[in-house]
Amino acid sequence: MTLISIKNSYLPLIMKLLIQNLVPQEMYDEAPRSQNLNIKIGNTTFQNLTDLKQFVASIIKNPKYELSVLNQTVDLSPEHSKFMSDLLSYHPRAQQKLKNYTKILLGSHQIGTKSTRCFFIEKNASFREDISYLKACDAAYDATAAEVSQYLLNDNQKLQGENILNFLVRLFKLYPLSLNHLSPILKEVFPHRRLDEDIQRVFLLNILKLTIKFEKIRTPVLDVCLEKLLQIDVEIKHSAKGYGRNDPNQEMAKKLDWLMLIFLDYLDYVFQITDRNKENCFGKIRERPTGKEESKEHIEKLLEVFFELLDIFQGNLLVTYQSKYVQYIFFYLCSHSEIYPQLMQHFLSRLITNIRTEEETKFVRVNSVHYLRSIMVRAKYIPFPIISKAMGYLIDYLKGYARISKKKAGKNHNEHDCLHFEKIELNASSKYRERLSENSAKQQESEFKQLFQKYDIFYYTAYAVAYIFSNNIEEYVSNNKYEDYNTFVAILLKYNSLFKTLKFFPISLISNFKTIHEKLKGNEQLLAFLNTELNVEEEFKESEYRGDVFLEEYLPFDANFLKMTQKVIIPGYHYFENEEEDAKGLMDILGEDNPQDDDKFLNGRMIYDTYDDESDNLSSFSKHETDVSNDNSRSQGNDKIIKRKNESLKTIEPQLEKRVKTSSAYQNGHRVKTGA
């Protein structure tokens, strides 16, 4: 059968069969290949990750390395030293740990009341530092497994997939109407989220390759792909920051991690970003044009792609309840502000436009506030002029919203009345208690609930502005930029009796805001309000009812990463070092070593508890003549951090990009993706 002879009625069936076969049928029948991934360290190949870890453990337990005294160290044999040097080069902090080292030693380490063996790096006679071999083993596995196409498919399967892609391209060109069937077919044949990760990865890789070969199908394909990633995302619990065996939640996290890594490689290829690799699973990344006209045309073409992604973001992520990981795709793309500052500006513009658009659904508007608040404090790559400009638009929106709301309320609110309404003298606590008895907590709750239902977008936006101010105050001080802050304070004071805004701020934010206000020597009236809120909260913890219980705390770009994609995100990410969760996450990402992890494996997870001469023999594993290059296996955690530029960039305008779409209305204003 030739393409010319295909009947229109057969097109959907033929397309479905072809797309289904982008994943070879034998992959559905065989055991997952990634579970037995060969890992090559130097000239030695191990059948899987367990074999690698057990071999290293056998070196540690080798009786020829006698350690009779605590903190004693011994030299490794030349063979073992060479092997460990190759292995530890994969460590997430190899660049720092192995810099100027002289030798790798085996020694004892005190953990609680017992000692355990571990490896040390010696840089001079007086400096030794422990290093985790488990982290190095895991990183070696990740580096090997990242080469998706090199091990998941054999040569015949790769050729078959390439032929199917070319056939589909010819089909689309000869039968343009066939494109109408693509989206529903993709949703039907896309591998179910419960299927093995290898199947998911091969399908995603091939279907994204199809968009490179035929760009007209890019939007529906990317839309379906991100929708499927979100379906996996919503099933993962927030605690899934790593992944372990026999844990469905962790397995889903691992699956999503791999799929997002492929998607990030796809963005690198399409946007010609070579910061991580010059070549990836989609091929060699082309150099960006340097000529003025060529660069202009190149940017315009990429903006079209980005606008398509923004529309997908609007129609998928912004209507999904608290996704955890998929949004980092957009964080990563915007992080290349030194190359493409327009991407970050258009992303912020879309969020601000959503907030200010009354016709948009309430859920999308509130979610846009969450995203804007989160990225403005977490992204290192947003320069201060852009932060200031965005804040100006938010404050202008609050001012206009408050003015209209006051007019609708039809009441005269003056500053003296609103100050008198809120200020409570603590030395007259009996009067306050009497007031509480007259207006029970239930009545307060009803009042705050009514206010929140009426003005929720105002409270969320005001909270976001205060939060961004509190996290960027040093920038405002160093740039002597106080106008927006003073305007925001004036709004809080002038319309306090109408909105009771401070009652809807969490106490922690009020405390931070007070510190900032004192530092700036700001308005004494607001300072009195802030002190009142803090003092009342302290004295009447049980009887005071606050409106902040209605505010949903969601920060899409909080430090909640997956194991492999986190290394791609971290260069542009700002950590709060004083927060425990951030500090722990940063330590994990940068590969801080914990000897207890290595000891746990040695004493609890090893299959071979006794030393075996053969297991310590490098020749017992297959050897190859060529070494595996480690160039692409190094962690991105220690790469050059993208420094924020304080010079002015192009002005961010809420209406700058004209492609804003009002998302479809869903039941209850949003949807949670849980389908197949």
Domain 34-139+590-621+630-637 has CATH 3.40.50.300: no
546 vs 10, more confident: 10
Q: How confident is the model at residue 130 (pLDDT cuts 50, 70, 90)?
A: confident
Where is pLDDT greater, at 501 or 167?
167
| pLDDT classification of 272: cutoffs 50, 70, 90 | very high
d(CA 671, CA 676): 15
Which of 193-202, 388-397, 521-530, 568-577 is predicted least confidently?
521-530
Q: For residue 548, what pLDDT band results from cuts at 50, 70 and 90?
A: low
What is the rounded CA–CA span in Å between residue 114 and residue 147? 41
Instruction: Tell me which of 615 and 254 has the higher pLDDT.
Output: 254
For residues 313 and 334, what is the distance between their CA atoms, to the nearest angstrom? 13
276-317 pLDDT tens trace: 889 888 999 999 988 888 888 999 999 999 999 999 999 999
pTM of the model: 0.73
Residue length of the chain: 676
CB 642 within 8 A of CB 338: yes
Position 411 confidence tier, pLDDT thresholds 50, 70, 90: low
Residue 483 has pLDDT above 80, yes or no: yes
pLDDT tens string 335-391:
998 899 999 999 999 999 999 999 999 999 999 999 999 999 999 999 999 999 999
List beta partners, residue 199. none
Mention every residue, 6+ apart, whose C-beta is less than 8 A from residue 604: none
Give the distance, in angstroms, between the CA of residue 231 and the centroid of all CA atoms in the same chain.
Answer: 16
CA-closest candidate to residue 206, choices 227, 190, 194: 190
User: Is residue 612 over pLDDT 70?
Assistant: no
DSSP letter assigned to residue 626:
S
Q: What residues contact 82, with CB distance under 8 A and at least 6 apart?
A: 42
333 or 635: which leads in pLDDT: 333
Summarize the confidence of residues 461-473 as an average pLDDT. 90
Query: Amino acid identity of 129?
Result: E
User: Residue holding tokens 């009803």?
Assistant: 446
Residue 567's pLDDT band (cuts 50, 70, 90): confident
pLDDT of residue 170: 93
Could you give phi then psi for residue 75, rounded to 5 degrees? -75, 145
Model confidence band, residue 653 (pLDDT cutoffs 50, 70, 90): low
**Greater model confidence, 639 or 343:** 343
Mean pLDDT in residue range 510-529 = 70
pLDDT band at 588 (very low <50, low <70, confident <90, very high): very low
State the angle between helix axes of 362-378 and 384-409 in degrees (0 to 180), rounded to the nearest 10: 150
Query: What pLDDT, on a 0 to 100 scale, did the predictor assign at position 426?
Result: 35
98 vs 93, 450, 515, 633, 659, CA distance in Å? 8, 61, 43, 15, 50
More confident residue, 99 or 608: 99
pLDDT at res. 542: 45
Q: Read off the pLDDT of residues 228-247 as tens digits, 9 standing for 90 and up.
A: 999 999 888 765 444 444 45
Q: Is residue 480 within 8 Å of 388, Cβ to Cβ?
A: no
For 244, other C-beta atoms within 10 Å of its C-beta total 11
Average pLDDT over residues 607-628: 36
Amino acid 614: pLDDT:
39
Q: Which pLDDT does position 389 carry in this prediction?
A: 94
Cβ–Cβ < 8 Å for 275, 640: no
Q: What is the mean pLDDT of residues 69-92?
A: 87
* Mean pLDDT for the stretch of residues 645-666: 38
Q: CB under 8 Å to 227, separation ≥6 — which residues? A: 187, 316, 673
Residue 622 is predicted with a pLDDT of 37
pLDDT at 5: 56
Beta bridge partners of 573: 379
Q: Domain-by-domain residue ranges, the chain?
A: 34-139+590-621+630-637, 147-379+651-669, 409-550
pLDDT at 97 over 80: yes
Q: Where are the beta strands (DSSP E) in 309-445?
A: none
Residue 91 pLDDT class (50, 70, 90 cuts): confident
Distance CA 48, CA 40 (A): 10
Instruction: Work out the average pLDDT over 389-402.
Output: 94
Whose CA is closest to 344, among 392, 312, 309, 292?
A: 309
Provide mean pLDDT across the span 538-563.
Answer: 69
Task: Kindly tell me the burial class for residue 128, based on how many C-beta atoms sit within 10 Å of its own C-beta (0-12, 13-18, 19 or more).
Answer: middle
Bigger pLDDT: 645 vs 336:
336
Q: Give 647 or 390, the one with higher predicted confidence.
A: 390
Distance CA 229, CA 243 (A): 17
How many C-beta neighbours within 10 Å does residue 375 have? 23
Residue 596 pLDDT: 56
Q: Residue 409: what pLDDT?
A: 83
Task: Give dist(CA 89, CA 102) in Å, integer.
Answer: 14
**pLDDT score of 554 more than 50:** yes
What is the average pLDDT value for the chain, to the nearest integer? 76
